Amino acid sequence: MPGHGKRYREARGLAKQGERVALDEALQLVKKTGTAKFDESVDIAVRLGVNPRQADQMIRGALSLPHGIGKDVRVIVFAEGEAARAAEEAGADVVGGDDLIARVNGGWTDFDKAVSVRSLMAKVGRLGRVLGPRGLMPNPKTGTVVGPEDVARVVKEVKGGRVDFRVERAGIVHAPVGKASMSEEALRENVLAFVEHLIKLKPSTAKGQYMRTIGLSTTMGPGIRLDPNEVARLTSAER
């Protein structure tokens, strides 16, 4: 394929382009195709039988994966007083009120997730220009807008590798499920937990097959197609 190097072409050959493979074989292939000089992320892409233009079929949520995502997540928290102290004790990287809002408004976005207490959202909401395009805006639907009593719990979950996701216009949900260095068993449990969560979110108005396609890929590697029926059966078998 033009534009790709030898390493990618070799990985693409291993990935059995176009074939649907069982989950365990796919995870073996992911480990083989994650050959970059850094620890590549492993990402899942699920095409759902939903129409995101219908409000009741807009799939979105958050999930703490059993084995995290294998990276250090930088979390900032918009909070003051006791809530700020709780956030700091829970491991938040940066905590603040008006000072932090001003810093972010100035263009600072050196973090992965943002959490806010409800009482500050009137001010934090003005940061949509900065945070919105980067997918960093705190949102109650993903559990990142909370009461002061929940700040510590949410910070620990996010630091531990909680993933936020939402269906895109084409009906596809993308999310990280780990790193190429993680064991096949850990990746397997993460994948099944994510798919099971999506199944639980199936709208009653969705018609036809819900899990249309599932793919796994590393940051620099080709996509590997899974058999969605087999993955769905595995989630049922392990409940």
Mean pLDDT for the stretch of residues 148-167 = 91
Q: Is the pLDDT of residue 92 over 50?
A: yes
State the pLDDT at residue 215.
Answer: 94
Distances in Å between the Cα of 187 and the Cα atoms of 45, 156, 157, 211 are: 14, 21, 18, 19
Per-residue model confidence (pLDDT) at position 175: 93
pTM: 0.75
Mean confidence (pLDDT) of the chain: 89
Ramachandran category for residue 59: left, alpha or beta (phi over 0 → left; psi -120 to 50 → alpha): beta
Q: Phi and psi at residue 77, in whole multiples of 5°?
A: -135, 125
Crossing angle of the two packed helices 23-33 and 228-237, in degrees rounded to 10? 110
Domains of the chain: 6-69+162-237 (3.30.190.20), 75-159 (3.40.50.790)
More confident residue, 84 or 162: 84
Angle at 42 between CA 94 and CA 190, to 5 degrees: 85
Q: What is the pLDDT of residues 169-204, one digit of tens each?
A: 899 999 999 999 999 999 999 999 999 999 999 999
Q: What average pLDDT does the segment 96-110 reach?
A: 96
Q: What is the pLDDT of residue 227?
A: 92
Q: For residue 73, which of 98, 90, 85, 60 has the smallest C-alpha distance?
A: 90
